[in-house]
């Protein structure tokens, strides 16, 4: 029997509805959560993503600010905008859209954002808090979304063998930190695989929970999946497809058709992990506003 689909779009909608209700309650107390997004340059994909974030904020009843800067913007100029947002009490979350032009060091920019406004969860302070299980830090949105998918889909994680393919700072490493902690949708035994891993299939085939974020289309096949496993496909890749109007289609890092014949649960691409990222960004922004109110 083919695997049950984990509907990320539906779960993300649930979370966004919850955030909207809780935002309305916070607004009634005199505080409207505010998110500022800075976009440098004219990358089309980044522009679409930033527009989606702004729309999502408005739907949730949040204050949304988008700052668009030319590709020629210098690092000091960008940092000046970050400083202004850091000092603005109406802004609770700051996000600088990546990638940045080559003249700007992204690490310098990330470190300039106040940790209590770093709703992307990339500041070293928040990275450290996630690693040690400190609950007042901000978790990067995609790993946080994956954990919510597991939780809301009823996947048992306690004692489970969890294999993560990919060791990026954005997904793989924070995902490892989350899954190994003591807590909800966690308490797993975690293995992290990467480009230097020997016999990748030997690791993936013993995973009760397989999370793939390697950036390589269809690299995990059904033969590499344990029967009855839960497969979370974080990847999103464009591959050529002459049968489509655009000439391409989106696929994940997992070969969906073969893997779904083996797994018990699986996320599709698109409409799997992707919608969760913005939902968790809104959730982080709401929490940032609450923390600011309490301070």
Active site residues: 53, 97, 120
Q: Are 23 and 84 in contact (CB under 8 A)?
A: no
Q: What does DSSP say about strands 230-233 and 209-212: parallel, antiparallel, or unpaired? A: parallel
Token digits of residue 293: 């109110």
Cα(73)–Cα(40) distance, rounded to whole angstroms?
A: 7
Within the chain, residue ranges assigned H as helices are 8-28, 44-59, 75-86, 106-112, 124-132, 141-152, 172-180, 200-204, 256-259, 274-294
Name residue, tokens 């966004």: 16
Cα(228)–Cα(208) distance, rounded to whole angstroms?
A: 7
Q: What angle do CA 205, 148, 181 make, to 5 degrees?
A: 70
Nearest to 209 by CA among 247, 144, 156, 143: 156
């Amino acid at each position: 029997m083919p695997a049950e689909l984990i509907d990320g779009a539906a779960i993300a909608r649930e979370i966004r509805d919850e955030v909207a209700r809780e935002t309305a309650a916070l607004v009634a107390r005199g505080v409207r959560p505010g998110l500022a997004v800075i976009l440098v340059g004219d990358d089309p994909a980044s522009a679409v993503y930033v527009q989606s974030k702004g729309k999502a904020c408005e739907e949730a009843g949040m204050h949304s600010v988008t700052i668009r800067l030319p590709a020629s913007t210098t690092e000091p100029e960008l940092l000046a905008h970050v400083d202004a947002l850091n000092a603005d009490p109406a802004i609770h979350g700051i996000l600088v859209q990546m990638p940045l032009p080559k003249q700007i060091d992204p690490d310098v920019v990330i470190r300039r954002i106040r940790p209590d406004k770093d709703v992307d969860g990339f500041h070293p302070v928040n990275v450290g808090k996630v690693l040690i299980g400190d609950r007042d830090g901000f978790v990067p949105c995609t790993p946080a979304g994956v954990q919510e998918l597991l939780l809301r889909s009823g996947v048992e994680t306690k004692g489970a063998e969890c294999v993560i393919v990919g060791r990026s700072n954005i997904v793989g490493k924070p995902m490892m930190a989350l899954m190994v902690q003591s807590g909800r949708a966690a308490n797993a035994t975690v293995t992290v695989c990467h480009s230097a891993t020997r016999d990748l299939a030997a690791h993936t085939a013993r995973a009760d929970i397989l999370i793939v974020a390697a950036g390589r289309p269809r690299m995990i096949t059904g033969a590499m999946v344990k029967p009855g496993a839960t497969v979370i496909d974080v990847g999103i890749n464009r591959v050529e497809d002459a049968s489509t109007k655009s000439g391409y289609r989106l696929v994940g890092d997992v070969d969906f058709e073969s893997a779904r014949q083996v797994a018990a649960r699986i996320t599709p691409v698109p409409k799997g992990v992707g919608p969760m990222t913005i939902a968790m960004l809104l959730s982080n922004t709401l929490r940032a506003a609450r923390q600011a109110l309490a301070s």
